[in-house]
Structure 1
Amino acid sequence: MPCVYGRISSQFKFPKIIHIIGTNGKGTTGRFLATALYKKGYRVGHYTSPHILQFNERVWFNGSDVAMECLESTHKKLLALLTQDEAESLSYFEYTTLLAMLYYSDKSDFVVLEAGLGGEHDATAVFANDLTLVTPIAMDHEAFLGSDIESIAKTKLNAAQKAVIIAKQRYKVVYDIMNELQKEKGLQTFRVEELLDEKDRQNILKIAEHEILATYLQTNLALAIAALKYFKIEYSVEDFYNAKLFGRLSVLEKNIIVDVGHNVLAAESISESLKNNKYTLVYNSYKDKNYKEILSVLKPIIETVELIDVYNARVEESGYLQQTLEDLGINYSKFKKLETEKKYLVFGSFSVVEAFLKVYRG
């Protein structure tokens, strides 16, 4: 990716780029920020991943997903810039990233660019950015990023280039690594709380009340507001209304909540947000996820689990999941249909939510 982009970089004319890295909350942080910038009159692109149902969910511009026809036109333009060997050498995510950035390159004031699952080696890291936002970092994608928080944090934080705002972190080592990088790379760094004042904190509560935001979404909102403060852009609470990204504790109906979270930190946030309630959990898991701990965290809010079929090579064999549920003392069955008297929480990954929505929407 770096070599390919290096050869064609002159074809990209970029505005200010805000790069978002971290484990949880990248998508919602980006959508909060992009929506507020758009409502302030800026031309804004927001690149996020993965999509749930339609590919163009990844490429948002000025308030809506970009039409597939526009992306097809950009696809042809990009292919004309690449040699056949270059095109074939790129992964799906790398090509998609170049496609989105080519679309944004000559029509945006800001691009909010969400990293995939990595940091310094992520396709999004090849673009020079003006600001890096760091969402909470936790264990996830260990096979790719490292087996402990320190390794994961280093991989992600090494993507920082210039100025950094870091959200409130659970693990002290994340701050320690950020301090080391600040000295090594001459970074300008801020903790989110350093950029927010009492008025900002009150505004976050007002927005959260209006939008019915869970606690973890308020953390993401705070990071987005801190970015506006960094750029000295004034905002109002209304700028963040209707900005929540779908699939983040989204209420489909009064008895159905869906969330694309898929790691322990996400499970902890959801369990806290939905405490004192009991749900039928529609679930499945990839093999590389710590699903035993995830289910343990969710157990206090689980009435029963219904395992939904997900057709993906990464999905765990049902027998292992069933044995884990038995070990945890959680009743389970196979998901077959929706029942109006049940309260559902759909959680486990984008793939789980996608499979559920296909049933839900018929």
Structure 2
Amino acid sequence: MIPPFSGFLESKPLYYKEIDHERVHRAYARLRDHIAHPPAVHIVGTNGKGSTGRMLAFLAWQNGMEDGKWKMENGLSQSESTNHFYPLPTTHYPLSVGHYSSPHILRFNERIWIDGENVSDEVLEEGHRRLYGILGAEMSEALSYFEYTTLLALLLFERCDLIILEAGLGGEFDATNVVENKRLTVVTPIGIDHQAFLGDSIEAIAETKLRSITPHTQVLLAPQAYAEVESVARRIANERGCGLTMEDGRWKMEELERALQNKAWPEFLHENASVALRALEFLGISGDVEALKDLELFGRFYPIAENVRIDVGHNPLAARAIARAMEPETVLIYNSLDDKDYREVLSILRPKLKRVEILPIESQRAATLREIEEALAVLEIPWDCFSGQLFSHERYLVFGSFYTVEAFLKSQDLGYNQKS
């Protein structure tokens, strides 16, 4: 008997100290002949993966080539794309595009986006039943949360013309790296994070992430904070016979600034948009900058009220980008997981802070109140516990993790609790 998707997923832990990296490949080998394999863009990095991927997916969906030329050139003729379940049309406008991202803020559905919409509960349940049936109970139960949901996304994307896959915390051993038919790897800014899994140095972390690159494909390197990342990228691209392009984040920037002047996006989102547009050029898909006016990047320095912004960033690299965008005298509503460098994060944000209000979060990896309090005391930042009240005369930023943003939204009557 196949268990319901929601209960099945909740039974899997979100965090693993050790994992069998070959397991997802064994499962994919069982799945691969049951699904189509659209061209894929793989996005790896530390920061900016979600926003860059969503911009890329949104623009490709909005601006696909009307005459089907891109599809034919990329091997998507009907005869080649027909699989056991669905045939793909030979012409289609706009392109059908899927985007897989993680983690989610409020609902799992946020992780799988197809043609402008998060997937419905009904589609998830149907896809889960098919996937569980293909893999069998033993393998389905053995896969990790991220492994199983990655394969579920690939199954649900089978009718797409293009898929955008965001790697999880890794690269070379990430579940998303099972995908076939990669056409481009986009490398967003790499910084120090998840050291227990990836290594204690920028070089080690970059090595792990960049070894996800498929030989003889194209690689687009977004602007990097560390020169070591560029060195590692050049070496691995050369070893694997890949074309490597360094993007400076200024591609079509004048057009972006003109088109997005009313959106009040910070500089780092403009840079991510520039990278997304450059990626589209590599794919041979036109990118209309004006279309970004209609894109909402929930959780990315996102204004949920006139004086309240939320951001799911959680590491020093993200904090530096946020600090450049913040207004002075901001009240920071904050919490952190215990494996994050919250002392460095708070130190970076300190010049823009009026005070910190600590919001409790539910996670086995949450830092203790005492640890954060000690960091705030050393930095001489005033703090209190979050009372749940917001005042119109204050300016707020909710930051620290997806868990922090989720807890905040659920504590407030802001209309986001049922966000699909």
Aligned equivalent of 1:270: 322
Q: CA deviation at 1:87?
A: 0.9
| Partner residue of 2:147 out of 91, 94, 100 | 94
Aligned equivalent of 1:261: 313
Aligned equivalent of 2:104: 51
Query: Are 2:390 and 1:339 aligned?
Result: yes
Query: Are 2:366 and 1:311 aligned?
Result: no
What pairs up with 1:173-322 in 2 under 5 angstroms?
173-193=228-248, 200-275=252-327, 277-322=328-373
**Quick one: distance in 1 between partners of 2:259 and 2:405?**
26
Query: Are 2:159 and 1:84 aligned?
Result: no
Aligned equivalent of 1:163: 218
Query: Are 2:171 and 1:119 aligned?
Result: yes
**Quick one: distance in 2 between partners of 1:59 and 1:183?**
33
Structure 1 letter corresponding to 2:167: A
> Alpha carbon RMSD of aligned pairs, Å?
1.4
Contact map agreement 1:31 1:244 (CA 8 A) in 2: no
Aligned partner of residue 314 in structure 2, secondary structure: coil
- Which consecutive unaligned segments of at least 5 residues does structure 2 have? 1-23, 64-93, 415-420
Higher helix share: 1
**Quick one: distance in 1 between partners of 2:203 and 2:135?**
37
**Quick one: distance in 2 between partners of 1:146 and 1:208?**
38
Aligned partner of residue 209 in structure 1, secondary structure: coil
Aligned equivalent of 1:35: 58
**Quick one: distance in 2 between partners of 1:343 and 1:90?**
43
Aligned equivalent of 2:18: none
Give the total of aligned pairs.
357
Contact map agreement 2:253 2:270 (CA 8 A) in 1: no
Q: CA deviation at 1:361?
A: 2.5
**Quick one: distance in 1 between partners of 2:402 and 2:413?**
16
**Quick one: distance in 1 between partners of 2:285 and 2:27?**
35
**Quick one: distance in 2 between partners of 1:335 and 1:343?**
14
Structure 2 letter corresponding to 1:57: E
| Partner residue of 1:145 out of 189, 198, 202 | 198
TM norm structure 2: 0.83
Structure 2 letter corresponding to 1:342: E
| Residues 122-164 of structure 1, C-alpha deviations (whole Å, 9 max, x = no match) | 0001102111001011111111111010000000000011211
More displaced 10-residue stretch of structure 1: 73-82 or 180-189: 180-189
Structure 1 letter corresponding to 2:206: A
Aligned partner of residue 338 in structure 2, secondary structure: coil
Aligned partner of residue 193 in structure 2, secondary structure: coil
Query: Are 2:194 and 1:136 aligned?
Result: no
Q: CA deviation at 1:239?
A: 2.1
Q: CA deviation at 1:343?
A: 1.4
**Quick one: distance in 2 between partners of 1:218 and 1:339?**
29
**Quick one: distance in 2 between partners of 1:86 and 1:52?**
28
Aligned equivalent of 2:117: 64
| Partner residue of 1:6 out of 29, 32, 41 | 29
Contact map agreement 2:358 2:384 (CA 8 A) in 1: yes
**Quick one: distance in 2 between partners of 1:64 and 1:230?**
25
Contact map agreement 1:28 1:244 (CA 8 A) in 2: no
**Quick one: distance in 1 between partners of 2:172 and 2:244?**
17
Contact map agreement 2:260 2:292 (CA 8 A) in 1: no
Q: CA deviation at 1:334?
A: 0.6
Query: Are 2:128 and 1:75 aligned?
Result: yes
Contact map agreement 2:30 2:134 (CA 8 A) in 1: no
Contact map agreement 1:32 1:244 (CA 8 A) in 2: no
Contact map agreement 1:208 1:214 (CA 8 A) in 2: no
Contact map agreement 2:309 2:398 (CA 8 A) in 1: yes
**Quick one: distance in 2 between partners of 1:94 and 1:10?**
18
